[in-house]
């Protein structure tokens, strides 16, 4: 980034491909993926299946499409899908689950996770005269709107086991699974293990310009190919993107720990202001949510003033702001951004 660029903490999706990543993209051998002939995407699919401990993996252009294909593969119209409260599928996919798969969502738990018992209490059995059958349970790890928290691995295994015993499928929305793995010290394969189907993304912490992947048993992935096509996500010389994903896995995965450290430093600086509420000990990964006191300017006002001073963040509510750290911001920039936000929060409310 050059010195006139703002400190952009709106999302970990704002990163730009580095010169090394661009070079890997330019040099990637490619072919028509609809004939199965793109060697680079084939390699990435193998690498990711291996990392997640699954039989097969499938390229999809975006994380939202991964979630949409998963719903098509694992549910039928009219089914009920149990999800964590405030999940991406409910808030950030434009109603796609209802539009594309005709499912309803039942939100459970709090703080980004739920227990096996909460899942069983929400589960609607098949064959009932009135109930929509619960055919899928979905976990988001890390949980975006709950502050990038890690879903407890032991509980995820208990939920998936209970689901399997009852013939209910399980899906992991792992758009930030790499962050979860780094934060909790379990491998991606350990975190993915209990689930029938898993997604991961390359366009967030790994710094690629796009791309996501689904992984699971070969039979499930085989069926996913059709729905990817149906949703318009079947691409051609996609190895140019896959090369960026491979580069990100090799070069940027280790840097996620540094992103988490930046987020904690940012939160600690904010916490020193009596007009900002944030608990740095709850910042587990690269996402920081913080609240503004009643006597501070509100979130849209703070975000607007911060923008004038070269700091970008997102208002998630009238008094709540989200900031996300990533490859393209340094520790110093994160601390400077916190200084700017504290100064604005401590100015008189308009
Ligand atoms: C970002 C995200 C996605 C997918 O987003 P895309 O922009 O389509 O890649 C899915 N789930 C979660 C939890 C996310 O944070």
Specify the ligand 1 atom closest to the Cα of 89. 11
Gap from CA of 343 to ligand 1 centroid (Å): 32
Distance of alpha carbon 48 from alpha carbon 185, whole angstroms: 18
Gap from CA of 273 to ligand 1 centroid (Å): 32
Please give the pLDDT value at position 236: 98
Tokens of 97: 């689950």
Using a 10 angstrom Cβ sphere, with 0-12 exposed, 13-18 middle and 19 or more buried, the burial of residue 350 is exposed
The answer to whether residues 160 and 190 touch, using CB atoms and an 8 Å cutoff, is: no
Atom 14, ligand 1: which residue's CA is nearest? 175
Q: pLDDT tens track of the chain, all 350 residues?
A: 455 689 999 999 999 999 999 999 999 999 999 999 999 999 999 999 999 999 999 999 999 999 999 999 999 999 999 999 999 999 999 999 999 999 999 999 999 999 999 999 999 999 999 999 999 999 999 999 999 999 999 999 999 999 999 999 999 999 999 999 999 999 999 999 999 999 999 999 999 999 999 999 999 999 999 999 999 999 999 999 999 999 999 999 999 999 999 999 999 999 999 999 999 999 999 999 999 999 999 999 999 999 999 999 999 999 999 999 999 999 999 999 999 999 999 998 65
pTM above 0.75, yes or no: yes
Specify the ligand 1 atom closest to the Cα of 67. 10
Of 13, 15, 64, the residue with max ligand 1 atoms within 8 A of its CB, to mutate for a pocket test, comes to: 64
Q: Which domains does the chain have, with CATH numbers?
A: 7-14+255-345 (3.90.1150.10), 19-253 (3.40.640.10)
Ligand 1 lining (C-beta closer than 6 Å): 62-64, 67, 88, 140, 144, 173, 175-176, 201, 203, 212
Tokens of 307: 């923008």
Distance of alpha carbon 58 from alpha carbon 2, whole angstroms: 36
Distance of alpha carbon 37 from alpha carbon 42, whole angstroms: 8
Query: How far are the Cα atoms of 189, 206, 216 from residue 328, in angstroms, in the given order?
Result: 27, 11, 32
CB neighbourhood size of 19 (10 A) = 7
Gap from CA of 36 to ligand 1 centroid (Å): 26
């Amino acid at each position: 980034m050059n010195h006139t660029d703002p400190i952009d903490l709106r999302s970990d999706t704002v990163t730009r491909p580095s010169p090394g990543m661009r070079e890997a993209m330019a040099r990637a051998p490619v072919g028509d993926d609809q004939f199965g002939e793109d060697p680079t995407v084939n390699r990435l699919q193998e690498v990711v299946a291996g990392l997640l401990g699954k039989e097969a993996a499938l390229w999809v252009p975006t994380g939202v499409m991964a979630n949409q294909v998963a719903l098509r593969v694992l549910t039928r119209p009219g089914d009920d899908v149990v999800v964590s409260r405030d999940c991406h599928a409910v808030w950030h996919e434009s109603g796609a689950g209802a539009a594309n798969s005709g499912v309803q969502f039942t939100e459970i738990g709090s703080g980004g996770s739920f227990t096996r018992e909460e899942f069983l209490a929400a589960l609607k059995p098949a064959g009932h005269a009135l109930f929509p059958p619960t055919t899928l349970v979905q976990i988001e790890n890390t949980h975006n709107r709950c502050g990038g928290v890690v879903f407890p691995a032991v509980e995820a295994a208990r939920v998936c086991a209970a689901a399997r015993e009852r013939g209910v499928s399980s899906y992991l929305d792992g758009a930030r699974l790499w962050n979860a793995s780094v934060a909790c010290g379990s491998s991606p394969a350990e975190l993915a293990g209990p689930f029938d189907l898993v997604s991961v993304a390359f366009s967030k912490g790994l710094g690629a310009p796009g791309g996501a992947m689904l992984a699971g048993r070969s039979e499930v992935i085989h069926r996913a190919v059709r729905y990817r096509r149906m949703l318009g996500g079947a691409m051609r010389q996609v190895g140019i993107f896959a090369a960026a994903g491979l580069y990100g896995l090799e070069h940027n995965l280790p840097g996620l720990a540094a992103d988490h450290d930046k987020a904690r430093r940012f939160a600690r600086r904010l916490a020193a202001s009596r007009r900002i509420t944030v608990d740095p000990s709850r910042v587990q990964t690269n996402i920081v949510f913080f609240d503004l006191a009643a006597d501070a300017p509100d979130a849209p006002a703070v975000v607007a003033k911060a923008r004038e001073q070269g700091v970008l963040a997102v208002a998630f509510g009238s008094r709540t702001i989200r900031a996300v750290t990533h490859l393209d911001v340094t520790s110093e920039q994160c601390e400077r951004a916190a200084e700017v936000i504290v100064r604005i929060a401590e100015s008189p409310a308009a």
